[in-house]
Chain A
Amino acid sequence: MEELVFYAFAILAVGSALLVVNLKNTARALFLFFVTLFAMAGLFIFALADFVAITQIMVYVGGVLILMLFAFMLSNKELLKALQHIPGRFLTMPNWQSLLLALGFFGVLLWGVVEWQQQTPDWIVQNIKQGNVIQPHDNNIQQLGLKFMTQYILPFEVISVFLLMVLIGAAHLSRKEEQK
């Protein structure tokens, strides 16, 4: 039962991601990207990371996608030029080359996973032996809060300052130039 739901989420994530890539209409692709992110959040729950899943939904669906839709609508001329085909010069490659590269990379990753399957890292084996594995009935969110405020306080502060910098930088970049 558990595996069936996992496979359903995995197929939903991969299938909607493939559709996102193949759709010509950018607005539809962006709305389908919602589905991919929701399915990824479901997969996070299967790894017993409920707080990360909720954060994913709040940050991505509430923030990032709205921002992307705004940017898409503000640069809407592109909609008319979707059929125009320009041969790529330096950043984008022809479709078949990028497909080849992506498939090759996928092959390398899969090969790594298959090779790795025989030898689990020592720390995982040790933690399984000592029972230091997150269980479904653990109080995840409380533990995470404690860790954030004690062990990971420095990265937490660094990332808050970084977020402030990003906020100021984005506001500065997107302001209107005043006429001299």
Chain B
Amino acid sequence: MITLTHFLVVSACIFSIGLYTVLAKRNAIMILVGIELMINAAILNFVAFGRYDKINYSGQVFALFAIVLAAASVAVGLAIILNVYRHYKTINPDQITDLRD
């Protein structure tokens, strides 16, 4: 029998890896990957808890909403990254220092 604790520990691992990616990487695309990892860990928690709620199915429903939100954030984020790259010729967040020309 797989208990809730198994899921929680795995998602804690994935979340911490995502946090490390966001903090340490110098590449905007990899930072987005880190954010996706963190969102995935959250979805795993939603699903693991939602197993114990058959009346509302709230866990799975909101896991699907979270997947939609993650996809939306990636779409807008990548559009912004491409624009920034066109302007600055780099996607290192440290070198993008001013808001206007």
- Asked if A pairs with B, the answer is yes
Instruction: Please report A residues at the B interface, Cβ cutoff 8 Å.
Output: 2-3, 6, 10, 13-14, 17-18, 20-21, 26, 29-30, 33, 36-37, 40, 43-44, 46-49, 51-52, 55-56, 59-60, 63-64, 67-68, 70-72, 74-75, 77-78, 81, 86, 88-93, 95, 97-99, 101-103, 105-106, 109-110, 113, 116-117, 123-124, 127-128, 132-134, 138, 140, 143-144, 147-148, 151-152, 155, 159, 162-163, 166-167, 169-170, 173-174
Distance in angstroms between the alpha carbons of A51 and B50 in the assembled complex? 13
Is there contact, CB below 8 Å, between B19 and A101?
Answer: yes
A98-B24, A173-B83 given; A68·B29 CB < 8 A: yes
Distance in angstroms between the alpha carbons of A64 and B5 in the assembled complex? 29
Is there contact, CB below 8 Å, between A134 and B91?
Answer: no
Instruction: Please report B residues at the A interface, Cβ cutoff 8 Å.
Output: 1-2, 4-10, 12-21, 23-27, 29-30, 32-34, 36-37, 40, 43-44, 47-57, 59-61, 63-65, 67-72, 74-76, 78-83, 85, 89-95, 97
Chain B nearest CB from A19 CB (Å) reads 10
Residue in contact with B32 in the complex, picked from A68, A98, A169, CB distance below 8 Å: A68
Name which residue of chain A comes closest to B70, CB basis.
Answer: A64
**Secondary structure call for the B interface:** helix
Is there contact, CB below 8 Å, between A20 and B21?
Answer: yes
Is there contact, CB below 8 Å, between A49 and B85?
Answer: no
Residue in contact with B47 in the complex, picked from A29, A52, A123, A147, CB distance below 8 Å: A52
Residues of A within 8 A of B19 (CB): 98, 101-102, 105
Chain A nearest CB from B86 CB (Å) reads 9
